[in-house]
Amino acid sequence: MTRAIYLRPWRVDATLRDGVPGIAPNAELARCVAAALDAAGAPSPASIGLILSDDAELAELNALHMGKDAPTDVLSFPLLPPGAFPWHPGVPERVIGPSARGAATAWGFALPPGRRLHLGDIVVSVERAIEQAEGGRGGHTGERRWSPADELRLLVTHGTLHICGWDHAEAREEAAMRDLETRLLGPIAPT
């Protein structure tokens, strides 16, 4: 079931796959997405897809799109190149494209009036979020003990930042990304 959640200027199309437990309210996850989009300077108004799934679907997508034959916790499928978003700390040297304010038209997406630019889709394994949290392997470092809902919020925030051109392949950018995730999620008490 898909539910459109409007948090101006964003629309988050949240989908919970059949058989997947709803461990955090869609509205709460949409607020995580909106906060990350705001922090990353995403072009607006825009929409983004959030699909809450399981290990089987993530393993299939990971093999098909990343060439890795294993499940993963989150995959992001951005529709704009990283240069469509503002520069951020730690970003590797790259050609900076149009500013976020003009990204929709500058990248060839002429939209009719009143239409939203779709930024991409995030697919999260709720099954993996639960397993990581319950096993004390949450928070990217594998040392964070917190609730499955907190782990899911982190994965949703992380996936949104990937949509916005953030990455963690280089140490400086990874540190900047982790710092922003921590600021966006606020203090989360370990369980």
Model pLDDT for residues 82-130, shown as the tens digit of each residue? 888 888 876 665 545 555 445 555 455 566 777 789 999 999 999 999 9
Cβ within 8 Å of residue 46, ≥6 positions away: 9, 10, 11, 37, 104, 116, 117, 118, 119
Q: How many domains does the chain have?
A: 1
Q: 94 by DSSP, 3-state: which?
A: coil
For residue 129, being part of any structural domain is answered with yes
pLDDT at 140 over 90: no
Q: Give the number of other CB atoms < 10 A from CB of residue 110.
A: 7
Distance separating the N- and C-terminal Cα atoms of the chain: 31
- What share of the chain in percent tops pLDDT 70? 81
Output the pLDDT for position 188: 58
**DSSP symbol at 165:** T
Q: Give the pLDDT mean for 159-164.
A: 96
Q: How many CA atoms lie within 13 A of 156 on its CB side?
A: 32
- Kindly state the average pLDDT of the residues 146-159: 94
In a domain, 93, yes or no: yes
Is residue 66 within 8 Å of residue 188, measured between CB atoms? Answer: no
Residue 176 lies in a domain: yes
CA atoms within 13 A on the CB side of 184: 28
CATH number, domain containing residue 25: 3.40.390.30
The answer to whether position 190 is within a domain reads no
pLDDT above 90 (res 37): yes
Secondary element (H or E) of residue 121: strand 117-125
191 is a domain residue: no
Domain containing 145 equals 2-185
178: tokens are 């982790």
Is the pLDDT reported for residue 41 higher than 60? yes
**Residue-level pLDDT at 113:** 73
Residue 16: CB partners within 8 Å, gap ≥ 6? 1, 22, 26, 52
Give residue 83's pLDDT.
81
